Amino acid sequence: MRKYAFWSVLCALLITASCKNTTKNTDTAAEKRKQDSLEQIKKAEEAEKARPRTAADIKLEKDLQYDQHTLEETYPYKDTTRQFQLEKIKEKLAFVENFQRAPHTYGVLQNYKNRNGESPVVENFVRNAYKRVSDTLGTERYQSTPLYREENSEKPSIYGRDGSLVSLESSDTLKMVKVNGISFEGSWFVPKRYVKNIGEDLKITHVNFVDVTNQNILTVERTGENEWKIRSMNPATSGLHKPPHQMETPVGIFMVQEQKPKMFYFGDGTKTIEGFAPYASRFTNGGYIHGVPVNNPKGKIVEYSWSLGTTPRSHMCVRNASSHAKFVYDTSKPYQALVIVID
């Protein structure tokens, strides 16, 4: 009987120990699964954070701050329909979001009126319709910067447009500065006199979208990560390709570089001041966003013109209602805002 009791107690102890081990193993396995799950969530969050943003990620809402001469998202024009290309605008805003997420030392290519010296002739050049030297991509030598493939190249390969945004990959104290294009593709070397260093703290919050196909302008303001508000939707008139004096507004991404309350202009082919355009914000070469031109240097500002939103007719500039040009002038400060020209 005692023998039977002994074995009963022993079995009970073994069963209890086995249950404790099983429970311990179960708890350990559960804890491991929990840790694995947390690690997977963390990795997924990191991957999502690192993922390049697309147009689908951009939240774009209409919240106007300027409400004069406002156009609808789609609107009639003669016997057609024009529109604001919101999906294309979202794609560009995703691009802006993406380049700002990585650390950069930013620079702007500059050579307004060849102030930093006339660029050398590129390896392969053509003469365009204006009989001026340009590269094979159509960028003119005049007012542009030379882009070299190698630091010691004898001739540049292409030209970079004045106002283009770049990332500096070497010190701007060197004779030749290495840059990565933001407004354009590729890595290039540029003589330092053509590059303005604007630092590491660039935060783009205002972008002006000029549509040369639909002849309109839309301005946006960044209000949060991937979140932008539409601040105005207006008619505009872009540049006309008409040699020898009028030029189209170039498509691309440009930095607002300077502003003038009155931008005086010469008559075609002369050195005589013919008039002025109010509230002018220059973004590339002689291209400004400005108000209605006044063909009298001492004339009064004109608010609106029948030609706005019709067909290209300016000299590269982007004409606006004068009060809207002032809105852009007030919100888009030099080296803090972009002009993105789309087609």
- CB under 8 Å to 197, separation ≥6 — which residues? 105, 106, 107, 168, 172
Total number of residues shown for the chain: 343
Element (H, E) at 101: helix 86-101
Question: What is the predicted pLDDT for the residue at 29?
Answer: 72
SS3 12: helix
User: Cα–Cα distances in Å, from 137 out to 128, 237, 303?
Assistant: 11, 24, 37
Question: What is the predicted pLDDT for the residue at 10?
Answer: 47
Q: Which residue has the tokens 């380049």?
A: 99
β-partners of residue 179 are 168, 188
Residues of the chain under the 70 pLDDT cut: 1-27, 36-47, 49
Distance CA 237, CA 7 (A): 100
| One-letter amino acid of 282 | R
Instruction: Tell me 94's DSSP state.
Output: H
Question: What is the predicted pLDDT for the residue at 27?
Answer: 66
- CB under 8 Å to 100, separation ≥6 — which residues? 202, 203, 204
Question: What is the predicted pLDDT for the residue at 299?
Answer: 96
